[in-house]
Amino acid sequence: MAPPVSDVQQISAPIETSEALEYRELLAEVRLKDKHKPQIDGWLQEFQIVVMAIKNDKKSCDLTDQLWLKSAKVPIIQEPFPVSGDHHFQTPSVCHIIGGYALGTSLRAPEVLIDMAIEMPAKCWQRQDCLNHRYHRKRALYLCHILQSLKTSPLIGSAKFQYINGHHMRPVVVIAPSDQRLAKRFRVSLTAYPESDGKAFRWIRFIPEKNNIRSNWWQPMTGQTADGDSDGDDSQEVPTPVYNASIQHDLNLVSNHEVVAEAVKQWAPLRDSLILLKVWLKQRRLDREFGFSTSKWDLEGVSMTEDLNQPLGYYLSYFPVVFIDGSGYHNVLWDVTIDSYDRLRHESRLTIASLDSGSGFESTFLREITFETKFDVLFKISVPSLLKSSKVGDISQDIRDQCGDTVTAFVGHL
């Protein structure tokens, strides 16, 4: 079943109307100018050489042995702290430019954010690394090693951790060039994903019904050590669909980019449509999520392939919104809440009605509509009060699935 594209077509349709000049002017204003690309590409080539020159560690260390960290702090929650496994840094096997810059859909203001993905070699991984936060801890330590190494390079002005959509399981290293002229034009968002040889990461381990955070590790009984690295029968365990999908996301990162790149290559107008969609999202402060007005991905789901591992209804029993990628296993909307999806559909309906009226260009692309101006009444929840709530105990399984992020787990129930 192919994903609906009618809404994107409606947004891009006015390019063929009398308003074509307005759209062309807008596209020329927001897209990255070609004259800047040679400088950016030159810096990226030098940066890739620096990253690929970081040497292998001579020996491994336990995941809990973090004394080697000098100028970087592990950017994820490490609770419980005791865990099996080791960290052994290996030079990245490959480095990819992905996302908007590679597709030609980057917005230039305030500065271009260029996505770069480095592959962690198979030698970094062990068979049970999908269990008990080991994957996320290894990935975070790998990025810490990269960050510490980059800070000594004269090419780098600054390097610090940030989070994709504020999700603590998805840290990236954001790098600014030392050349101030270039630093005003772009940043690099560096992420890491695993090379999979089919041993450490088997697809069947990540279907939503599987558990990859064992109870005897998460909440060990009195006198029991926090280990629980058993890869045996998990039928008595509570499923961890969000945790599983967070690992799947990284496994499919480059292949899903390649699908979009091929679509842009085959259908040239899609590039401009994606730029316009980004402008629309940015003006509404919705550029952290995505969605379409007439879709029913919360009720029916959608897939990019007919070769599904399970029916769409199966995935809807674990996630509020479902869009299965070409692998037939992974829901790319695993971290989208139903509230975000409903708001996106609402804004999409308003936009399409405005465009259909023939006078919606300004309200769609030029007028900023922030969250604060959208509503009459706003209220703020105190995090300390939230953590003291008696309801925290009721969502303990969701907190486990969110790798200890109580706030994110709680927000899903508001």
Q: What is the mean pLDDT of the chain?
A: 87
**pLDDT for the residue numbered 16:** 53
pTM of this structure: 0.85
**pLDDT for the residue numbered 290:** 45
Percentage with pLDDT > 90 across the chain:
56
For β-strands 171-177 and 186-194, DSSP reports them as: antiparallel
**pLDDT for the residue numbered 226:** 53
CB atoms within 10 A of CB 219: 13
pLDDT digits (tens, 9 = 90+) for 244-285: 999 999 999 999 999 999 999 999 889 999 999 899 888 887
| Residue ranges with strand state E in 44-92 | 61-62, 86-87
The answer on pLDDT for 214 being more than 90 is: yes
Structure tokens at 357: 């009226």
Interval 6-34 mean pLDDT: 70
Q: How many CA atoms lie within 13 A of 44 on its CB side?
A: 24
Interval 38-45 mean pLDDT: 97
**pLDDT for the residue numbered 48:** 97
The answer on pLDDT for 74 being more than 50 is: yes
Among 7-11, 31-35, 321-325, the range of highest mean pLDDT: 321-325
User: Which residue in 59, 112, 107, 109 sits closest to 86, CA to CA?
Assistant: 59
**Helical ranges in 166-209 per DSSP H:** 180-183
Q: Out of 163-177, 217-231, 270-284, which region has the weakest mean confidence (pLDDT)?
A: 217-231
**pLDDT for the residue numbered 229:** 58
Q: Determine the Cα–Cα distance for residues 158 and 155; give it in Å rounded to an integer.
A: 9
The answer on pLDDT for 336 being more than 50 is: yes
Q: Determine the Cα–Cα distance for residues 156 and 145; give it in Å rounded to an integer.
A: 15
The answer on pLDDT for 8 being more than 50 is: no
